A = this chain, B = another copy of it.
């Protein structure tokens, strides 16, 4: 029986965004993104669930201290996105249409280094813009 240990932390942030591809006409933006293309934008209470995987330290009985994971997520995500506009205020989202998929991918890239330094591997990242809609990135062991 082979098993894998993971630890998951959820953080939340409230942000505005608008789906808009500057290379497209307004008509095409409206056709592809619907109401999400409204010029004034809209917003969400986002929930980000980050899962890290690693060996269990037999002495501490932990994969990592979930408080340390929380601190990384606060520094890299909440401090930068909460009460901000994702289209204009977050340097590491620059140039991306702020879809759930793109935001999730950029967050994953941003977290890779700090998590590696903590000795764990980012295995799953779920970003939900509501109780009904979410995207999930799963990272297989290489």
Which residues of A are interface residues toward B (Cβ below 8 A)?
A: 1-12, 14-17, 21, 23, 32-36, 38, 40-45, 51, 56, 59-63, 65-67, 70, 82-85, 87-89, 96-102, 105, 108, 112, 129-140, 142
Contact = CB atoms under 8 A, between A and B. Distances in A.
A136 B6 contact: yes
Interface of A is mostly: mixed
Given A3-B139, A62-B99, A62-B101, 11 more contacts: A7-B134, A8-B135, A12-B130, A15-B43, A16-B17, A38-B83, A40-B85, A40-B88, A42-B43, A44-B45, A66-B133
A36 to B, nearest CB: 6
Contact of A138 (B6, B131, B142): B6
18 contacts: A1-B142, A3-B137, A3-B139, A4-B140, A6-B138, A7-B135, A9-B133, A10-B131, A14-B44, A14-B129, A15-B43, A16-B43, A21-B59, A35-B82, A38-B89, A42-B85, A44-B44, A61-B97
